[in-house]
Amino acid sequence: MTSGFGLGLRTEHYNDFLAEPQPVEWLEVISDNYMVDGGKPLAMLDQIRANYPMVMHGVSMSIGSINGLDKEYLRKLKILEQRVEPMWVSDHLCWSGVHGRNMHDLLPLPYTQEALQVVKHNVEQAQEVLQRPLVLENVSSYVEYESSEMTEWEFLAEICQVTGCRLLLDINNIYVSAFNHDFSPTSFIEGVPVESVTQFHLAGHLNNGDHLIDTHDHPVCDDVWDLYRQALLHFGYVPTMIERDDNIPSLPELIAELDMARAIADDVLNTKIAL
């Protein structure tokens, strides 16, 4: 388990990380951006990796697809994993397409026993290739299915138990889905197994009044910071990062936001110890 706070590595900040050491303990790279044949992406990755521990975060594994996993995708992911030697490898609890089509989205699953078996099979396949536990992230969602038989957190807890996979809890995604589907974010946090949580994501979203969209183009809002406090109280210290994918600010601005996460964690965890 690593310590400290991280950021998602974005092309806009390559030069900052190459120019001088930055106050960031680790970096998360989007696996898919580096599953390429060569050129600047891999050159930058290698240079920055030399100075920072990394975790790999994918968006295209489609772990919930009824068609199973794409073997070529897994092969390329394994090659990248051997190159980066990340602390862990994550992707999303979702599906992205069937029958050879890809919608390039993180589509939610129905929380059913049948889906559980599909995800179990696919997680086991990924873990066999990667030879390490897969880390799964909860997604933001905008639909719920008539067929669901359990809550999202019950599904996550079950999949961790039957596969040994771990969890990347996106605090913003919990908040967005809780708002969109009118459930208690506290129930979510209290419903997942403490020992399985490997990483937290923090991010911003777009508030459209009657629904929230997970855009990653805003700073973390106060409500999500409050939920982060709750998560820290429940899970204790968990490696945390700010995830920003659009409207990307300067690195100092993002580091200032990360410092807020550090300050909140210090405050919450020190208070917890004092109690």
Chain residues that interact with another protein, rule: CB under 8 A? 32, 35-43, 60, 65-66, 70, 72-73, 95, 97-105, 107, 109-110, 112, 114-115, 118, 142-148, 180-182, 210-211, 213
Q: Nearer Cβ to another protein, position 119 or 268?
A: 119
To another protein, the closest distance from the beta carbon of 266 in angstroms equals 36
Residue 199 phi/psi, 5° resolution? Answer: -155, 150
Residue bearing tokens 């974005």? 10
Q: Nearer Cβ to another protein, position 105 or 190?
A: 105
To another protein, the closest distance from the beta carbon of 178 in angstroms equals 12
Tell whether the torsion through CA atoms of 220, 183, 230 and 223 is positive or negative.
Answer: positive
CA distance 221 to 203: 8
To another protein, the closest distance from the beta carbon of 19 in angstroms equals 17
Q: Nearer Cβ to another protein, position 114 or 190?
A: 114
Tokens representing residue 234 in the block: 């429940």
Q: Nearer Cβ to another protein, position 61 or 251?
A: 61
Burial (CB count <10 Å: 0-12, 13-18, 19+), residue 217: middle
Q: Which residues pair with 95 in a beta bridge?
A: 107
Q: Nearer Cβ to another protein, position 32 or 81?
A: 32
To another protein, the closest distance from the beta carbon of 28 in angstroms equals 19
∠ at Cα 168 (149, 20), nearest 5°?
A: 160
Q: Specify whether the CB–CB gap between 212 and 221 falls below 8 A.
A: no
Rounded to 10 deg, the angle between the 251-274 and 222-235 helix axes is: 40
Q: Nearer Cβ to another protein, position 33 or 127?
A: 33
To another protein, the closest distance from the beta carbon of 157 in angstroms equals 20
Closest Cα to residue 55, out of 91, 20, 105, 11? Answer: 91
To another protein, the closest distance from the beta carbon of 24 in angstroms equals 24
Sort strands 134-137 and 89-92 into parallel, antiparallel or unpaired.
Answer: parallel
Closest Cα to residue 141, out of 109, 102, 103? Answer: 109
Q: Nearer Cβ to another protein, position 20 or 37?
A: 37
Structural Rg of the chain based on CA atoms: 18
Burial (CB count <10 Å: 0-12, 13-18, 19+), residue 5: buried
